[in-house]
Amino acid sequence: MDYQVLARKFRPQRFDDVTGQEHVVRTLANAIGQGRIGHAYLFSGPRGVGKTSVARILAKSLNCETGPTATPCNVCPNCREITDGTSMDVREIDGASNRGIDEIRELRENVKFAPAAAKYKIYIIDEVHMLTREAFNALLKTLEEPPGHVIFIFATTENHKVPATILSRCQCYDFRRISLAQIAANLDRIAREEGLTVSPAALTWIAEAGDGSMRDAQSIFDQIISYAGPAIADDDVEELLGLADRKYLFRLSEAVLARNAGVCLTILEEAYLAGIDMKHFYTMLLKHFRNLLLLRIAGDGASFDIAPEQAEKLKVQVARVSRETLQRYLDILLAEADSLRRSQEVRIKLETILVRMAYLEPVLPVGEILATLESLEQKLAYAPANAAPSPSAVPVFDRPADPAPPAVSRPAEPPAAQTPRSPTKPAPGEDLKSFIKRTNPPLGAKTAPAEILGPENGALTLAFPAGYVFLDTLMEKPQKEELERIAGIYYSQTITLAIKAVNAPRAAGPRSARGNAMNEIKREAITSPLFQKVLAEFEGAELVEIKPITDKK
């Protein structure tokens, strides 16, 4: 027998053999079992995901000598003829080459005749969206009320091009892209049946190259077998698929995250001299940073069809970088994509993009910045009136606070708060606040200025300075319940939380009054609805400095 390519040799012959389309095959099998057979079906989805294969299986299920049945025998004359494509009662028509009105008129005449040997006369029209408008119009009446022995099965990769009048007369099934794991498992089964030696990593690379298409992955696998023989080494797969440039991607992202522009340019030079196409490399770089961002947010590569060994390397890189920073890197790459494709000097353009990314300052979450500003403001409010001003006591908003905070004078705690604690319980204060910040960073930023009182008999109090910008928010039920939950975990007991404001002692005199007025101006600016809307609308917006307008200069 002549050689058959893998895509034909391992084509599904029963509904149970179909991979990745369980929602479709289950519905069709149930419909056949219940005798609810439609007269027109439309299968839509990406290429190579099983549309035509399922159409043939459906035809065999309806015309099998033991059927209609959801499990065709594949041995009776009708099943064998449909499998071989020689059945007189099942016609496969290419919509791209038979797209005119004359072909549809001929089809309309032929549907009047009864099947030659089977129960149904079935027409499978592939790429049906290629039919002309006149051809669709000629098909409408026959499609709506065909003879009882005729069934139409349409397949298309672009169902948005099919007229709504056609769609409304069909049962529509959407085929999905097949996952990376499912394609790799199918290739592994083929390798075992064919007696091939190939590593799981190589199978994953081939599946990834298929881009959700089983047929594409099987065709690539066929080509690799021809190149490497029955013993397939990882180097053979890398060379044939052009995966050698992946090592440059990981090195390049590492240099960008380390903010080392010189190393970025050196790595790009190596990739260029190795003969890698710069436009294709840019596309891969964009996808690479997209994967970094997805793993930073979700932490699970399997849900995004990222190869396991690749996901582990990506997780190591994103462990020390914020989501906001990765988002800005990806924004830069996306914004420059069209410009780079049109550029005549792709290498130079890519160099400028990488330098820009490498010199990008790390981005902090907005909530953490606001909480830090409020904490600085409250520290100034606690400062004694006779204390000499120092650099650490001056509210500077365009640089982080100094490590050593100024001396503060706090109000005396109530007697209950001075009760000695059991040495077996965790120490209050900063330890709890650090635990809140690790568990819920936005909430931890908001609770940074709090003073911890308790817990006493399961009662915990968070005391905030009066007028604290996030005080009302923390008193809301969802925030308070979340704090109770986190505190309960920390103290290993049920916690009842109270949040209150305390008045800080303020120095008297004109200087103190001016300071209070300045603090009020800053607080109003931070809590302004317009300012909050700007932060919400512009990703990565930062608060640099707050200055009162004293004169026109």
Per-residue pLDDT for 533 more than 70?
Answer: no
pLDDT value, residue 545 = 63
Q: Please say whether the beta carbons of 50 and 21 come within 8 A.
A: yes
Query: Among 96-100, 383-387, 475-479, whose mean pLDDT is lowest?
Result: 383-387
Query: Among 77-91, 249-263, 443-457, 523-537, whose mean pLDDT is lowest?
Result: 523-537
Give, in words, the CATH class of 6-174: alpha beta
CATH hierarchy code of domain 180-241: 1.10.8.60
Confidence of residue 522 (pLDDT cuts 50, 70, 90): low
Residue 197: partners with Cβ closer than 8 Å, 6 or more residues away: 191, 230, 231, 232
- Strands 451-456 and 121-126, bridge-based pairing: unpaired
Ordered by start, the domain boundaries in the chain are: 6-174, 180-241, 248-358, 366-401+425-537
Q: Which residues pair with 126 in a beta bridge?
A: 94, 155
User: Cα separation of 483 and 450, whole Å?
Assistant: 12
Per-residue pLDDT for 428 more than 90?
Answer: no
Q: Please say whether the beta carbons of 89 and 121 come within 8 A.
A: yes
DSSP 496: E
Burial class (CB in 10 A: 0-12, 13-18, 19+), 40: buried
Q: What 3-state class would DSSP assign to 292?
A: helix
Please state the φ and ψ torsions of residue 509, each to the nearest 5 degrees: 110, 170
Please state the φ and ψ torsions of residue 259, each to the nearest 5 degrees: 60, 45
At 75-108, the pLDDT tens digits run 999 999 999 889 999 999 988 888 888 888 888 8
Confidence of residue 394 (pLDDT cuts 50, 70, 90): very low
User: Cα separation of 246 and 443, whole Å?
Assistant: 39
C-alpha angle with apex 128: 106 to 112, nearest 5 degrees? 30
Per-residue pLDDT for 449 more than 70?
Answer: yes
User: Cα separation of 471 and 452, whole Å?
Assistant: 15
Q: Percent of the chain beyond pLDDT 70? A: 78
CATH topology of domain 248-358: Zinc Finger, Delta Prime; domain 3 (1.20.272)
Look-up: residue for tokens 């008999």? Answer: 457
By C-alpha distance, which of 291, 323, 319 is closest to 306? 291
Please state the φ and ψ torsions of residue 462, each to the nearest 5 degrees: -105, 115
AA letter at 2: D
Long-range contacts of 353-356 (CB under 8 A, 24+ apart): 354/252, 354/256, 354/261, 354/264, 354/265, 354/268, 355/261, 355/264, 355/265, 356/332
- Diameter over CA atoms, the chain: 107
User: Cα separation of 29 and 69, whole Å?
Assistant: 8
In this prediction, residues 308-323 reach a mean pLDDT of 83
Q: Please say whether the beta carbons of 292 and 303 come within 8 A.
A: no
C-alpha angle with apex 236: 234 to 240, nearest 5 degrees? 120
- The whole-chain average pLDDT of the chain stands at 80
Per-residue pLDDT for 181 more than 60?
Answer: yes
Q: What 3-state class would DSSP assign to 156?
A: strand
pLDDT value, residue 547 = 63
Confidence of residue 478 (pLDDT cuts 50, 70, 90): confident
User: Cα separation of 434 and 447, whole Å?
Assistant: 10
Query: Among 176-185, 251-260, 316-325, whose mean pLDDT is lowest?
Result: 316-325
Q: Please say whether the beta carbons of 115 and 149 come within 8 A.
A: yes
At 481-496, the pLDDT tens digits run 888 888 888 888 888 8
Q: Which residues pair with 153 in a beta bridge?
A: 41, 124
State the DSSP H helix or E strand holding residue 438, giving kind and residue range, or none if neither: helix 430-439
Q: How far is CA 311 from the centre of its chain?
A: 13
Look-up: residue for tokens 């010189």? Answer: 262
Q: Please say whether the beta carbons of 134 and 162 come within 8 A.
A: no
Query: Among 113-117, 299-303, 422-426, whose mean pLDDT is lowest?
Result: 422-426
Per-residue pLDDT for 550 more than 60?
Answer: no
Q: Please say whether the beta carbons of 242 and 235 come within 8 A.
A: no
pLDDT value, residue 513 = 54
By C-alpha distance, which of 544, 531, 540 is closest to 335? 540
Q: How big is the chain by its Cα radius of gyration, in Å?
A: 34
**308 preceded by a cis bond (ω within 30 of 0):** no
User: Cα separation of 146 and 247, whole Å?
Assistant: 58
Q: How far is CA 399 from the centre of its chain?
A: 34
Report H helices in 1-117: 6-9, 22-33, 51-63, 77-84, 101-110
Per-residue pLDDT for 479 more than 90?
Answer: no
Residue 230: partners with Cβ closer than 8 Å, 6 or more residues away: 194, 195, 196, 197
